[in-house]
Every structure is written in structure tokens, then in C-alpha cells.
């Protein structure tokens, strides 16, 4: 059912986008293909720990997504091995002695409504999202397809690489929630060489950046203020105004001090409070994120933000609950990896090579890089240029599919050259 060419695979994934921790069809197709290719396949609890999973969808969502995946041709058997949103897949292929080489591919889509428009290739070619309100608007459909295409090339007996190849297909990269549970399970603990790649990121087609930089340390919080409702005209003094507490916190959050030692960012992007005009609001929720160019800067920022939220709640006699919904860390590619990658690129039909390029956001593959590096391995993150039709996460997003084959070549060559 899943085609074998990388563009075909990408289009299949594109047509059936699945959001974080609900990638049942995608993961089942990946597992099935890896098994066919001879990889030792582990899925679900064999590769990820529930410990550290944040923002898991509801039970109903899982049931609906599993049912839809089965209806869309995914193997019920594989799905049954991925309970509770444990949609990670890992394929190992051992070829004699040698290093453990891990490649990471992410599979999740976004809650974005895809445009319908003949200038949009997925519309024109008939592979646009079949799922209302969901879309592959960040290129993970391409990443997954690249992963399977690389898997096939490297499984060929004619290849010369030695060691253990580990292909990791990760759920829930959006929101920065899928990598940590895999790290927590220990899947990176014996990895010697790690590489992740991302398509696009404003890097033009035909260019490869050997490393990505500018990852920000970040925390994403969901904050709830709880107060006490009261009739706003008859007895306002009996209320504890959660809306007012939240409002007081917000300028104070943005006013957290700029940092002399780090670049910082703070944003409260969403606020819902109260129910009706005539009642002192008893609840407010806000969704915010805190970022910094250094871990210490982030610690100072989060510590200040906690104090600010607690203080604002206290002014109204309200209480707060802070749910750390997601985190991101920075990471730096090891020079040995970028050099190896440079050789690998030169061995392909090539393209323009640049040393480093800003990621312009984040990727929780950095948690994997950190684990590999802290255990003595070497890790890298590269960018594969691909012209875009619209920015990442936009509903008109699409990428130049010619980048897919180039990415497969480069990753294949990277493994082949790693002796």
C-alpha cells in the first residue's frame, strides 16, 4: 500500500496527517516497512517510556485515531503494540562490528487547516490532507519518507558500512514532547554517532548546512489561576478574581528583566478567563513560553516567571497551577560530525555547503544529542535546503520535493562513510 519511492511515500504520509502521539497509521506503516526490509523492529513501550510524556491526548482521541488508522490501511497488529500514544518506532540493523549509528526522523503533523488551491501542489496532485483541521505543515511527512528510503538503501547487501544502524522514528516533535520519553527509555544510551536532519528552514534547495545553530532553551507552560466566583454587583468583595490575577501577571511577565548574559524571550500567547459579564471570574488559563539562549538564562527566567505568577495570584487570593507542557534545550553539533558530513556531501552529486544556519525555532532532537554527547558519543543536526511555498506552520506550506532524494543521498553517504 505504501509506495517505495521517496516522493510517493511522502505523498502518502502527507495525505494522512496525524498529530502528536496519535501517529498510529504513520508509525504502523513505518514499522511494517522496516520489518520487511529486515530491520529488528521495536515499537511503543519497547522504545519509549511513559515517564516524561506531556500533553497526551484524551483516551477518546486515541481510540478515534487508532480506528481511523486501521480504516486507512494500517496493520491492527502493529497498532496494538503502541498503546496510549506510544507511537515511536525503532529499527536496528546490525552489520558486523562498528559504531552504533543513529538517525532520527519525526512523524507528527500539526493542527493546521491545509489550503485548497490549485497553486498548492498537494491540491493539484490530489495528495492533500484528508483529515479536517490537520496538516503536514512542517515537512515531517518528508522526513519520514526519507527515513524509509534511507532504510531501504542501507539494507542493501552491496553497501559497505559496518556496525549497528538505528533508525528512530519519533512522535510529537511539535511541542517538544516526543524525544524525551525515548531518551528516558535509554534508546540513545549506546549510540556512538547521532544525526538528525530538517528540510527547509529558509535554506534554499540545493544547499546543505552541516550544522544548525540558534536552538533556544525553552519551557512551555500552561498556567491556571483559580479564584472564587461572586455576583459582580451584589457582593464583589466575596470573589477572588482569577481574571484580574491573570491580567496583573501579564505585563509583569513581559517585564521580567532582560538578561545581561543571555538572550531571552517571553510570550503569553493565549488567555481565556471568566464565563460571563456579571460574575467575578473564578478561572483563568494562559499558555506561555519562555526561551533563552543559555540554560542559566532560562533558569533565571523561569524562576522569575514562577515568582511573578505566584505573586499575581496572591494579590487576589487566587491559586495557581503551572503545568510545564514542553521543554527545549539547545545543542551544538560536534565538529567530527560536521566534518564527516562534509565528506559525505562531497561524495554525492553535491550542492552548496555552508557550515551552519539558524534553525529559527527548536527541535527536541536536542535531547537526544545531549544524551549521546554526555555519554561520550558524537552528535549532529543538519539542514537540507528546500525551497518553500510558505513559512513553516502556515496553511500554504509546501516544499520542493527534489530535496527528498538529495537528503536520502546525503544520509546514505553519511552512514557509508562512517567507518
Binding positions for a copy of itself, rule: CB under 8 A: 216, 220, 232-239, 241, 243-244, 246-255, 257-261, 263-281, 284, 287-289, 291, 297, 300, 304, 307-308, 310-317, 360-361
Contact between 236 and 187 under an 8 Å Cβ cutoff? The reply is: no
Q: Say what the alpha-carbon torsion angle 348, 351, 353, 358 is, to the nearest 10 degrees.
A: -110
Measured from the CB atom, the residue of 54 and 220 that comes closer to a copy of itself is 220
* Spatial CA neighbour of 254 closest among 263, 242, 245, 267: 267
Q: Provide the minimum distance between the beta carbon of 324 and a copy of itself in the complex, in angstroms, as a whole number.
A: 13
Residues 88 and 366: their CA atoms lie apart, in Å, by 17
Joined together, the cell numbers standing for residue 337 give: 560530525
Residues 392 and 396: their CA atoms lie apart, in Å, by 9
Measured from the CB atom, the residue of 100 and 388 that comes closer to a copy of itself is 388
Q: Provide the minimum distance between the beta carbon of 326 and a copy of itself in the complex, in angstroms, as a whole number.
A: 9
Measured from the CB atom, the residue of 8 and 311 that comes closer to a copy of itself is 311
Contact between 285 and 224 under an 8 Å Cβ cutoff? The reply is: yes
Q: Provide the minimum distance between the beta carbon of 244 and a copy of itself in the complex, in angstroms, as a whole number.
A: 6
Joined together, the cell numbers standing for residue 168 give: 528512530
Contact between 70 and 1 under an 8 Å Cβ cutoff? The reply is: no
Q: Provide the minimum distance between the beta carbon of 265 and a copy of itself in the complex, in angstroms, as a whole number.
A: 5
Q: Provide the minimum distance between the beta carbon of 54 and a copy of itself in the complex, in angstroms, as a whole number.
A: 13
Q: Provide the minimum distance between the beta carbon of 223 and a copy of itself in the complex, in angstroms, as a whole number.
A: 11
Indicate the pairing of strand 100-106 with strand 163-170: parallel
Q: Provide the minimum distance between the beta carbon of 179 and a copy of itself in the complex, in angstroms, as a whole number.
A: 18
Measured from the CB atom, the residue of 77 and 324 that comes closer to a copy of itself is 324
Measured from the CB atom, the residue of 397 and 412 that comes closer to a copy of itself is 397
* 208, β-bridge pairs: 353, 384
Burial string for 52-83 (b: 16+ CB within 10 Å, else e) reads bbbbbbeeeebeebbebbbebebbeebbebbe
Q: Give the number of residues written for the chain.
A: 419
Measured from the CB atom, the residue of 122 and 227 that comes closer to a copy of itself is 227
Segment (H or E) for 352: strand 352-358
Measured from the CB atom, the residue of 9 and 246 that comes closer to a copy of itself is 246
- Dmax over CA atoms of the chain, in Å, equals 83
Amino acid at each position: 500500500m505504501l509506495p517505495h519511492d521517496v516522493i510517493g511515500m511522502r505523498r502518502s504520509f502527507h495525505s494522512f496527517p496525524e498529530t502528536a502521539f496519535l501517529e498510529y497509521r504513520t508509525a504502523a506503516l513505518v514499522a511494517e516497512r522496516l520489518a520487511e526490509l529486515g530491520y529488528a523492529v521495536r515499537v511503543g513501550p519497547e522504545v519509549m517510556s511513559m515517564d516524561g510524556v506531556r500533553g497526551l491526548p484524551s483516551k477518546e482521541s486515541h481510540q478515534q485515531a487508532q480506528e481511523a488508522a486501521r480504516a486507512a490501511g494500517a496493520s491492527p497488529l502493529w497498532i496494538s503494540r503502541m498503546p496510549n500514544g506510544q507511537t515511536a518506532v525503532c529499527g536496528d540493523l546490525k552489520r558486523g562490528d562498528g559504531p552504533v549509528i543513529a538517525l532520527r526522523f519525526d512523524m507528527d503533523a500539526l493542527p493546521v487547516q491545509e489550503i485548497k488551491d490549485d497553486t498548492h501542489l498537494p491540491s493539484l496532485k490530489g495528495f492533500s490532507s484528508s483529515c479536517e483541521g490537520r496538516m503536514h505543515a512542517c515537512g515531517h511527512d518528508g522526513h519520514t519518507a526519507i527515513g524509509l528510503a534511507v532504510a531501504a538503501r542501507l539494507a542493501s547487501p552491496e553497501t559497505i558500512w559496518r556496525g549497528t544502524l538505528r533508525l528512530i522514528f519519533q512522535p510529537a516533535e511539535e511541542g517538544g514532547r516526543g524525544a524525551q520519553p525515548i531518551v528516558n527509555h535509554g534508546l540513545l544510551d549506546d549510540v556512538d554517532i547521532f544525526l538528525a536532519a530538517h528540510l527547509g528552514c529558509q535554506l534554499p534547495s540545493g544547499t546543505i548546512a552541516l550544522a544548525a545553530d540558534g536552538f533556544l532553551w525553552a519551557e512551555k507552560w500552561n498556567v491556571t489561576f483559580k479564584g472564587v466566583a461572586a455576583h459582580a454587583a451584589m457582593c464583589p468583595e466575596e470573589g477572588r478574581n482569577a481574571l484580574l490575577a491573570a491580567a496583573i501577571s501579564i505585563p509583569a511577565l513581559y517585564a521580567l528583566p532582560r538578561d545581561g548574559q543571555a538572550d531571552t524571550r517571553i510570550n503569553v500567547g493565549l488567555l481565556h478567563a471568566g464565563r460571563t459579564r456579571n460574575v467575578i471570574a473564578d478561572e483563568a488559563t494562559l499558555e506561555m513560553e519562555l526561551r533563552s539562549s543559555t540554560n542559566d538564562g532560562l533558569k533565571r527566567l523561569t524562576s522569575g516567571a514562577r515568582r511573578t505568577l505566584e505573586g499575581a495570584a496572591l494579590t487576589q487570593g487566587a491559586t495557581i497551577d503551572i503545568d510545564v507542557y514542553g521543554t527545549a534545550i539547545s545543542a551544538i553539533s560536534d565538529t567530527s560530525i560536521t566534518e564527516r558530513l562534509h565528506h559525505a556531501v562531497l561524495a554525492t552529486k553535491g550542492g552548496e555547503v555552508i557550515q551552519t544556519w539558524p534553525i529559527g525555532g527548536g527541535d527536541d532532537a536536542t535531547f537526544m544529542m545531549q544524551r549521546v554527547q554526555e555519554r561520550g558519543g558524537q552528535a549532529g543536526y543538519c539542514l537540507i535546503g528546500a525551497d518553500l511555498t510558505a513559512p513553516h506552520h502556515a496553511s500554504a506550506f509546501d516544499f520542493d520535493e527534489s530535496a527528498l532524494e538529495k537528503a536520502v543521498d546525503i544520509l546514505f553517504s553519511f552512514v557509508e562513510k562512517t567507518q
